[in-house]
């Protein structure tokens, strides 16, 4: 039983990374009906930006204010810098092809993904980069006989917090109503005087920013990062999004955590399961698409955001 809970915690940790990446994915899809292939690479970009920040700037902050401020600084830096990158990507790769239809948009996103991956490789090199170990806190909590690294707990609560903030913005604010309206019918929203361009920009800023944040936390947690790691996360987040119900904020969260847990339990309990982890993931994707294309929280499909 202790092992089972431990595996559950392992699963929830992996799952909260998937969820953070999936939140940005899902939002972009909700509004643009675009599978943003570049999202995974923006995640990588975020983790490299956070790495650079930690290497160059965090020692200064840590000395003056303490370890956690350095960590917070890195997360905030990656969040903001990635928001900027998101705006740039939207301006360069998406806006010119909005009117051309959905397919050119997807192709453009795919191109952007390849470009970003190679740009990261050109700037930081093809080798693994390792987060400095003395700048990341290693404290752990004891809880019901389990030892939980504090960073794990922080990651989980941070992604939960982000989800609630996003949910609140979209459901309770006036701007959120505009976002929902755009998601439902872009032309109608334009006719009603909603600044659709602003909504789109908002989505393409917040999505990558969240991805960047996930990237830094991923780097801090696993320490080593590589230019091509985003592709895998992109695919997992995409699966999580489908699983939870695409375009649905709580759905992305539920889907991400659930995917992490399923993967971990299968790898932990099925003999030879470790080798088939990704196989399970995509089997789930196929099954959901066949039997429940709207995902777990699919009833709310009309309120896509």
Which residues here bind another protein, judged by CB under 8 A? 3, 6-7, 10-11, 13-14, 127-128, 130, 133, 138, 147, 149, 218, 222-224, 226, 229, 232, 263-265, 267-268, 271-275, 277-278
* Shorter beta-carbon distance to another protein: residue 29 or 227: 227
* Shorter beta-carbon distance to another protein: residue 44 or 248: 44
Distance, in Å, from the CA atom of 263 to the CA atom of 21, rounded to the nearest integer, reads 17
Instruction: Answer whether 50's CB lies under 8 Å from 215's CB.
Output: yes
* Shorter beta-carbon distance to another protein: residue 13 or 108: 13
- 224: three-class secondary structure by DSSP: strand
CB of 305 to another protein, least distance (A): 29
Q: What is the DSSP letter of 57?
A: I
* CB-based burial, 48-74: b 16+ in 10 Å, e otherwise: bbbbbbbeeebeebbeeeebeebbebb
CB of 2 to another protein, least distance (A): 10
Q: What is the DSSP letter of 158?
A: H
* Shorter beta-carbon distance to another protein: residue 7 or 190: 7
* Shorter beta-carbon distance to another protein: residue 7 or 294: 7
CB of 41 to another protein, least distance (A): 15
- 148: three-class secondary structure by DSSP: strand
CB of 44 to another protein, least distance (A): 12
Distance, in Å, from the CA atom of 64 to the CA atom of 179, rounded to the nearest integer, reads 41
CB of 267 to another protein, least distance (A): 4
């Amino acid at each position: 039983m202790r092992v089972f809970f431990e595996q559950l915690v392992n699963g929830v940790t992996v799952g909260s990374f998937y969820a953070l990446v999936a939140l940005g994915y899902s939002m972009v899809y909700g509004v643009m009906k675009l599978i943003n292939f570049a999202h995974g690479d923006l995640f990588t970009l975020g983790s490299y930006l956070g790495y650079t920040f930690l290497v160059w700037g965090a020692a200064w902050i840590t000395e003056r204010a303490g370890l956690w401020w350095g960590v917070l600084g890195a997360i905030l830096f990656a969040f903001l810098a990635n928001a900027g990158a998101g705006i740039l990507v939207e301006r360069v790769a998406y806006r010119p092809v909005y009117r051309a239809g959905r397919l050119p948009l997807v192709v453009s996103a795919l191109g952007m993904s390849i470009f970003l991956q190679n740009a990261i490789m050109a700037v930081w090199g093809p080798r693994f980069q390792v987060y400095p170990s003395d700048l990341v806190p290693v404290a752990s909590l004891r809880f019901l006989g389990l030892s939980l690294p504090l960073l794990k707990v922080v990651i989980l609560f941070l992604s939960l917090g982000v989800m609630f903030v996003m949910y609140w913005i979209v459901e309770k604010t006036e701007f959120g109503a505009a976002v929902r309206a755009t998601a439902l019918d872009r032309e109608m929203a334009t006719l009603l005087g909603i600044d659709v361009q602003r909504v789109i920009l908002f989505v393409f800023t917040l999505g990558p920013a969240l991805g960047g944040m996930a990237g830094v936390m991923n780097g801090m947690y696993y320490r080593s990062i590589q230019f091509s790691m985003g592709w895998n996360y992109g695919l997992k987040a995409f699966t999580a999004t489908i699983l939870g119900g695409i375009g649905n904020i709580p759905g992305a969260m539920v889907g991400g955590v659930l995917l992490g847990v399923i993967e971990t339990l299968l790898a932990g309990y099925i003999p030879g399961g470790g080798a088939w982890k990704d196989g399970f993931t995509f089997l789930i994707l196929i099954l959901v698409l066949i039997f429940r294309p709207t995902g777990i929280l699919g009833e709310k499909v009309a309120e896509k955001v």
